[in-house]
Structure 1
């Protein structure tokens, strides 16, 4: 029974350690996620800068996996070349060792103060950066507290026969220890937690130095497995695996060399310190620095090898296939929202193609490309549903106030673009089919008017896409006022149609009614464009009236 309680205590403290790491990661991501992503994007121009950026950001968020998701997001869209992306991953692997170095010192006495400060920041402030920093301090405190309790738990079992048997078996087979540490790191999604646990065991001399360093190698290998298995979501393009497989390749090569040199590593590390815990932390750092030093000069030929073995596979005939909805990016809300926004912009591009087809069909009475426009509309509808599902699976607790606002903006943009595409096909293109079946041709003045109207509608569509990317109140206000133009246009056409009927031109009544329906659909599409991009910005700046109906009290 005592052994069972000891196992439960051990599992609980390991869970507390992992939860502390998670709170630090989520707190930093909520507080600085967007800024870190922007900074990373700017730094991924040259390999040296990318290496330093990867190290700095990973040291801040304490997760090379999270940093890798940011880098993969840029690389997947072609915004960064493979060489600087690989350099940034090498830097991320170095950055994750810095927190291990810090935790290798005895900082347990700081745990209560950190938790107290974190709880005060979290409770005393509303949603914002200070509240998120409270999560960071609470996480650090829990992390240190769990380490202290693990040390206390290990003390009574130091001489336990079972522990000695297990560690002796692993000491006789360091490769087994490496594989075990890799599996634990993969399961924990955190090399920091596993390496800190290894350091704690080494501090009490529960295992010989060779086994300690083999376990550290395994933790470094395990942290590179998750991006390969979970990265790129359902993307079957081999090119999407270049970065995670390239990072795994550097880890595997480093571990092979490390295992070959394992008999001599304890002697080398003893030059720096006789403390087993410090030696393990130092080896973790030296290993990643050595791998980076070896591969940085080789990144160009290495990237060419990866590109040759994993060629890009494109499928232009399937526009409804998502390109950026990476499921693994849910761990980093800022990256996930960026992916969804980029996918939503594809809807805008596809809507522009449909509107261009509708314009040509209305003016020339041509049936060309109408079936293709319907195909594109179906793709828009599928992508809209995928974007909605992707955003719905985000953990709301990890979203800051700005993240929640951006999520709602993306949903509004995506939904309205899908509605506009549906009206373009079911309305405008259906009307062109009716014109052709009836043998009707729009009059010259109507053709000129519809050409100008469609050009204006396409211009508004482009402005809506621009507003979605870069917020501008003046442009949003201008786009909102466009509703008046299309409303007046429809009203003027309706008045002309009535005058023709009153004057006895009954033979053109049906065709005139159809022309009114075309203008009505154009006005509806424009309204969706305004709702997609202009209204969210104007609402944010309190420039929208709550109701168009006049207050009876005035």
Structure 2
């Protein structure tokens, strides 16, 4: 019993080490990995190679699957290159299995020692997170040694021999057991390495090991598909295509299992090395053979999982991937994109408001109110999404970005409410009381409206780029807007002095709209202060460090 517990604890340590490496890499280089994957999306061979590299780095094809399904769900990547990346991820997993079976026992204590030193001394810095990665790598190597040590006495247990003797080389049964190994250990890499250990210990034969390895790959595909259940149909198609490719691989091996096992047995390698070698050969050949068919597989997955029609009438978040919450940098990037989408809705609302100012249009009024409902829905989604981001693991920079996103989302939500109130005022004057603006008054409101829209777009650009020169330009535009607003208010009072009838009838509305636009302008320009404050704080810190 103790021996079995030792084996299970070693497997758990392997899984935990893999998790630490994956989370550490994604926290430090998460956004860079996204850029690597998205940059090569249009080229199938490069997408395939990118999948290999990213998976080798994060030590998990499941982590790569999360990134890719997130891209496809958000419309940032097509299904075809996503399938190419997933094929590359399978090869990356096989490569890492080969690396981790080398004699690296000397490396484990060194990595753990250095990792703990860096992680505890610089926990919130990049060096600290890289120390976390080193700890994870050290634990993986240590866990592999413990698995070998724990599996050795198990080979002497008669019950265990009988249990594994029931696996007689029936490929479908062996594949089912291998898939269960991968599901239980939450890692195909762990399942394959355990299979190699059991084969090396003489507990299972090579044909059985082949079935277990193929099943472990299928198990990882099942994991990815189950994990994608929270995604849109577009994201689930990626996991479905990857799973189907692995099932096809099983069907291809069934007719050649016996000659394949005999051919591998002819090599003068240790049994464990044969298992790892087969895993690499199988995934490499399978993925290269399947690569030309990704277009056909994409069409088949689109047919199996069509898009669901959304009849709710209210906009739904596109970029708030819940699977990215474990990686704060990715979650913040998702929240930024969704907040910019709210900004686009505000831009459209302002455009409809101008049409209503020029001429009462019931259709435009209804559309503007619908857009305000969309703004409310997306604001609530962004707010709840950010509330789930673990604040304690955020770096200082990420914490500042978290606050910036919340602030802009709140400002845009307030802007939507102001625009809807402006619509109500205009409709009351122009529809209920049959009043209309004078030509001069309408021209003034139109010019101020154009300046307001330009400041909105510049404010969103400043929020996205955090460029200090653009932030200063936005503040200059804010001052220009205020000067223009005062000038137009004075001009309106001048028309009242000249007894212009239309100006008298719409005087209150005219001045209220100018005041509302002033409030909107302040909301749109707030991002400039955030960028400049962050820059000045950084410059001050650098100066203090230099002074020391």
Same fold (TM over 0.5): yes
Secondary structure of 2:456's counterpart equals helix
Q: Deviations over 1:210-261 (max 9, x none)?
A: 22121111111111123322227352xx444332211111111012222443
Determine the structure 2 residue equivalent to 1:541: 535
Does 2:427 align with 1:430?
no
Q: Deviations over 1:238-297 (max 9, x none)?
A: 444332211111111012222443333322222444311111111111111111121122
Counterparts of 1:118-197 in structure 2 under 5 Å?
118-125=115-122, 127-171=124-168, 173-197=170-194
In 1, distance between residues paired with 2:520 and 2:338?
A: 20
In 1, distance between residues paired with 2:80 and 2:537?
A: 46
In 2, distance between residues paired with 1:279 and 1:98?
A: 14
Determine the structure 2 residue equivalent to 1:92: 89
Q: Deviations over 1:438-464 (max 9, x none)?
A: 222222222111101111111122222
Check conservation: 1:108, 1:144, Cα contact below 8 A: yes
In 2, distance between residues paired with 1:443 and 1:344?
A: 37
Greater CA deviation, 191-200 or 389-398? 389-398
In 2, distance between residues paired with 1:170 and 1:326?
A: 41
Check conservation: 2:320, 2:331, Cα contact below 8 A: yes
Determine the structure 1 residue equivalent to 2:544: none
Check conservation: 2:69, 2:231, Cα contact below 8 A: no
Check conservation: 1:13, 1:150, Cα contact below 8 A: yes
Aligned length: 537
Greater CA deviation, 408-417 or 329-338? 329-338
In 2, distance between residues paired with 1:34 and 1:156?
A: 45
Q: Deviations over 1:41-82 (max 9, x none)?
A: 212221111111111111111121222233333333444333
Does 2:204 align with 1:207?
yes
Residue 405 of structure 1, CA deviation: 3.8
In 1, distance between residues paired with 2:195 and 2:396?
A: 38
Check conservation: 2:436, 2:502, Cα contact below 8 A: no
Determine the structure 2 residue equivalent to 1:452: 447
Q: Which consecutive unaligned segments of at least 5 residues does structure 1 have? A: 545-554
TM-score scaled to structure 1, two decimals?
Answer: 0.88
Secondary structure of 2:106's counterpart equals helix
- Aligned counterpart in structure 1 of residue 225 of structure 2, from 224, 228, 244: 228
Determine the structure 2 residue equivalent to 1:370: 365
Check conservation: 2:169, 2:211, Cα contact below 8 A: no
- Aligned counterpart in structure 1 of residue 345 of structure 2, from 341, 344, 350: 350
Check conservation: 1:493, 1:516, Cα contact below 8 A: no
Does 2:30 align with 1:33?
yes
Greater CA deviation, 13-22 or 325-334? 325-334
Residues 398 and 11 from structure 1, CA distance in 2 versus in 1: closer, same or farther, beyond 3 angstroms? farther
Determine the structure 2 residue equivalent to 1:249: 244
Residue 435 of structure 1, CA deviation: 1.2
Check conservation: 2:11, 2:185, Cα contact below 8 A: no
In 1, distance between residues paired with 2:468 and 2:114?
A: 39
TM-score scaled to structure 2, two decimals?
Answer: 0.89
Check conservation: 2:82, 2:238, Cα contact below 8 A: yes
Does 2:9 align with 1:12?
yes
Residue 27 of structure 1, CA deviation: 1.6
In 2, distance between residues paired with 1:69 and 1:318?
A: 29
Q: Which consecutive unaligned segments of at least 5 residues does structure 2 have? A: 539-548
Q: Which 4+ residue blocks in structure 1 deviate beyond 6 angstroms?
A: 496-510
Check conservation: 2:352, 2:365, Cα contact below 8 A: yes
Residues 317 and 463 from structure 1, CA distance in 2 versus in 1: closer, same or farther, beyond 3 angstroms? farther
Secondary structure of 2:363's counterpart equals coil
In 2, distance between residues paired with 1:192 and 1:289?
A: 15
- Aligned counterpart in structure 1 of residue 298 of structure 2, from 298, 303, 306: 303
Secondary structure of 1:368's counterpart equals helix
Q: Deviations over 1:362-420 (max 9, x none)?
A: 23244432122111111111111112222322344664444444433333333322221
